[in-house]
Each structure stands twice: as structure tokens, then as C-alpha cells.
Amino acid sequence: MAKEELTLNQLAKEIYEGAGGMDNVQSVVHCMTRVRMSVRDDEKVDQAKLKAIPGVLGVVDDEQLQVIIGPGKVNKVAKEMVDIAGVGLGEELPHSSGKDKVNAKAAEMKAAQKAKQKNSPFKALLKDISNIFVPMIPAFVGSGLIAGIAAVLTNLVTAGTLDAGTWQQFIDVMNIMKNGMFSYLVIFTGVNAAQVFGANPTLGGVIGAVVTLTGMNPEAPLTNLFTGDPLAAGQGGILGVIFAVWLLSIVEKKLHQIVPDAVDIIITPMLSLLVIGLLEIFLIMPLAGFISNGMVGGINWVLAVGGAFSGFVLGALFLPMVMFGLHQILTPIHIQMINETGKTMLLPILAMAGAGQVGAAFALWIKLRKDKELTEMIKGALPVGILGIGEPLIYGVTLPLGRPFITACIGGGIGGAVIGAVGGVGAIAIGPSGAALIPLIANGRWWGYVLGLLAAYVGGFVATYFFGIPKDKLAEQKLAEETVVEPTMTTVEPTTTAHATEVFSAVAKGAVHPLEEAADPVFAEKMMGEGYFIEPTDGAIYAPVRGKVSTIFPTKHAIGITTESGMEVLLHMGINTVELDGKPFDIMVNEGQTVTADTEVAKVDLDAIKAAGKGTSMMVLITNMNEIATHVLEKTGPVLASEEVFKATTK
């Protein structure tokens, strides 16, 4: 079959057959030039059959089975392969084929879009917070559902609907299970934060446990340095623990550098815990206590104002208080209100904060429905969120995205304003919020509470839908929804200017080598085309030729340049560096930008590449060799960056 007659679908299917069948392929990814497959049984791979496929330039069987297709086509072939299998790029293939999956395009484009996003300290912080809490989501969901059921039963018992003698033991058992998660959340947070920041996980757990103040003498409690009042367990909250563990990671790493190896295992943990523990007890927790006292005054003032304004302020600000562990200071206020009036007017308003999160989550689900990872998390967190357990939605969904957290708080404020305007809506006991609080609403005013819930749902939804979706997520969604018309292999090749000569230069200071000496057989055997490579001595990488940047691969390790004469040039930075996920590379140019030999296109961390066990060779290849008449490597050995080394002429 002629090469021109193969469609992408046919090419993908033949690659599967040569790899031993789709059932033998475990996963499919691609780099700038190759489809990379993890196979289950190497003996089933027929390399001769793969090499004979029209459109395949070569095959390498290393840690992965690599089928060389070439830039511009490889991403289309890889996408066709995962579409056939019904998975996303990098996901494990099932042992059967034909499963439809609309998310394949979103997965591919998401990676490309993320590679273009500029990092910022704030985005890095949100990413770290997400990495800390996402592993806890299953426990949040499981414990939250149990807590929600226990809360509903408790409220029904309190309201007299259920008999306490019959149901209390069931409630106690469920509370024991629930408390296994929520009572020790600071410890789990400390462990996960340590893993994210590079500290010892057990030490992180201990730092998290410090805020519980276990072991403090109640007869002589530690005092708040700012106010002189006794410290309260939990001051500092979750974010206080995260900050303390971040400091722990810095101190621990520094001590590992200076403490002698013979005593490092003894001295470093002790000093780390001592330094950070003291800071946590005498600075971080007191600072949170100082903030909490100010917030109590603010709450009292807001309550005095009353009405819809009070409801909005309290409903909007409650979640930030929860994150700092400051919500505990409201418990005495609730109890005092119940003792004096038989109900707390504050709790139903504060419950709206979680309802705003629910509305925001629905908006994210609808607006970003192509984001499988996000929608799956929302589906798991929504049931417990409706029951009043907000941690999964806060830490797993809205807070890591940033803007949705703010719009969710606005939704909570809207619900609080409705309850404040209705007036007289109070709870006869304190407990969870959300739908679980309905049986505890006093004097038949449950309808006012439900009205507030609905307003918070709608408010959080509308605010998030129109104002709370992050721009980068919207861009990913737009890319995922675009209809892609796949070309066949009969696509007309770009034309070149006849008899045009292009001068190529060294892309870095170092040594020029002929392509035959490359460590990677794909390049050494010239499967991708002719060229040369540089072994660099520093990480400043320049364009090899004058032209326009046509492609920047998402993992940043490869850049495509098209010259004015039509030569397609590939700058491939390192050997197998696609596996490094872009970390050693800082790209200095954009797609569509015109570059010359004096244009610095990237900064590369050569030490990081070497530490990962990868080669640092900077490969320069002409990939459309069918348009090239002559080529010559004019210089080998030591060179300076931008020094002329190679020439090629079109037909």
C-alpha cells in the first residue's frame, strides 16, 4: 500500500498490529518525533512489521517501544491511537478496544495549554495546596457521608422525631468513624504537606499534631503572646499547619547539609521539631488567636447591625475563618445564644458558606465538563457538600482554582443576606450545616433556611459561571471543544524555494559532532533526517538557523523552525528528555516568532538533565530531506554559540 493512501486511522491500527495488538499495548504517549508505547509482552512485538509500515521512519525498542513518525504527524497518529482505544494520552489501555471517550482531545490539548501558561508564586501556592488535599478526597468523601448521615440522625433525635434510646448508639458509632478523619485532619495535612514540600512526612504529621496542644496542663495553660489569654487548641488551623510544615522543610534540608552524617538521624529531627514546634506554639498559633479576637469584635458589630447586610458579610467571610481555624471561636457565641433565646441566629447564616461552594461546584461542572479529573472530583464531593461537609469542595475544587473560591464565598453571602432579610431563622442546636441542619431550624422557620440555601446555590452558581472560571481553564475547555478535522496522509507537502542555501550555526557553546556519533540510534541512523549535534558546556541555547518558530512541544524539549526557503528544522534538546516533563527547560520564544542565530531560544539546566540520567546532546535535524539537494557539515570540535557549522541547499 502506498504511503499516500494511508489515513491516520489506518496508520494507527497498523502500529497496534505491529506492537502485538492493542491488548499488548499498556499506554501511548508521544514526543516531538515518536509514538512511545509501554508494552505488556516484548516478545509479541514485530519490529520488522512496524518498520515496513508506510509512514514509519524507524523503530527503537528501549525502555519503551518507540515508533518514529516525525514532527507534525506524530501527535495526530498518537491521538488517533488513544481515540481508538478509548483512553487519554498516557492512560492505561483496557484489554479490549472500541470504547468511546470524548475526553481524549481535552487531555491532549490540556497538556499543550498548560505548557504555555506562565507560572507565578500564587499559582504555585494553589498547586501545592491542591497536591496536599487531593489525596485526602476519598477519605473526605467517605467520612463526610458518614458524618452527614450521623448529623441528620442527630438532628432528628434532637428535634424529637427519632427515639434517642433506639438511635443514639448508631449515631455514636458513625461519629467515631467520622472523627477518625476530621479530628485528626491537621495531622493528615502535616503528613501530606511534608511530602509536597520535601520534608519528612512523619515530622510533618507531628507538626500538624502540635496545634491540638495535647499534653498541655489545663491548670496552667500556655498563653497567647499577643493577648495574654490561654491558647486554644486548633488556633492557626489548616493553613497554619501548612505554613509551619513549609518552614520545617527549609530547616530540615538546611540541617541535613550542616549536621555530620554520624549524628544526622538524631540531631536533625530533634532540632527541626524543636525550632518549628516553638515557632508554631508561640508565634503561629498566637498570631491566629490575635486575628480571631479581632474577628470576634467584627462579628459582634455585624450582628448588631443586623438584617441582610449582616447576613451577607457573615456568609461571605465564614469560609476564610474555617481555613484559619477561627470558626471555633464562634462555638461559645452559639451556645450563649441558645441558652438565652433557645436558638442561635448565627448558625443558619454561616451555613450558607457551604451552600455557596455547592453552587460554585455545579457551575464548574457545567462550564468545564470536558475536564474529566475536575468533574470526577466534583461528583464525589457534591453529596457531602450538600450535607454540610465542605472540605472536599474547598480543598479539592474551588481553592486550588482560586477564583471559584471567591465567587463561592459571594454565593454564601447572598444566601446569608436572604436569611438575614427573612429574619427569625435560628437553630435549636449546633452541628453540621447544609441540608442536614433543616430538622434543627426552630419555630417552623425551616422554609426561610431552605430559601437561603437555594439563594446560596444560585448565587454561587451564577457568580462562578460568569466571573469565577479561571482563564486558563476556559482556554483548555475551548481547545477541548474544538472540532478537529484529521487530514489523511495525502496532505500536500509544503513547498520550498528552489536552490536556496541555508547556513546553520552552533546552538550552544561546546563541541560539534556528526550525527552518526549520537547516542540515540534514531538520530545516529538518520531516521529523522540529516544534521549535527552539539555537546554543550552551558545551558544558553540559540536558534540553529534563521526562520519562524513553528512548534514548541508541550514538554519544552523540542522546537520546530521553518526557514524562509521551506526547510523544516528540528531542535531536539537532550536525549529522552521528554520524560522530564519540561522541568529543565525555560523556553524564551513563542510560536510564530522569527528567530536568527543570535536568538536565545531556551535556557537549559544541564545538571538537572544529567542528574536524571539523560543525555544533554542538542540535536539539529532537517526533517523534510526529500526537499534537500545537498548538505555538508563544515566544522566539528569546539565551537562558540552561533558559529557557522553546517549548510544545506534545497532542490
Catalytic residue list: 31
Residues with Cβ within 8 Å of 93's Cβ and at least 6 positions away in sequence, in order, are: 22, 23, 25, 26, 27, 28, 85, 87
Residues with Cβ within 8 Å of 310's Cβ and at least 6 positions away in sequence, in order, are: 302, 303, 349, 416, 420
Distance CA 48, CA 45 (A): 9
Contact, 25 vs 40, CB < 8 A? Answer: yes
Cell numbers for 406: 471567591
Distance CA 302, CA 94 (A): 57
Cα separations in angstroms, 600 against 111, 234, 543:
24, 52, 6
Tracing cell 503561629 back to the chain, one arrives at 284
Instruction: Name the residue type at position 312.
Output: F
Contact, 531 vs 620, CB < 8 A? Answer: yes
Cα separations in angstroms, 282 against 136, 177, 389:
29, 32, 31
Contact, 107 vs 95, CB < 8 A? Answer: no
Distance CA 92, CA 85 (A): 10
Distance CA 392, CA 138 (A): 9
Cα separations in angstroms, 174 against 149, 167, 170:
8, 11, 6
Distance CA 90, CA 373 (A): 14
- Give the three-class secondary structure for 52: coil
Distance CA 207, CA 186 (A): 9
Distance CA 454, CA 415 (A): 7
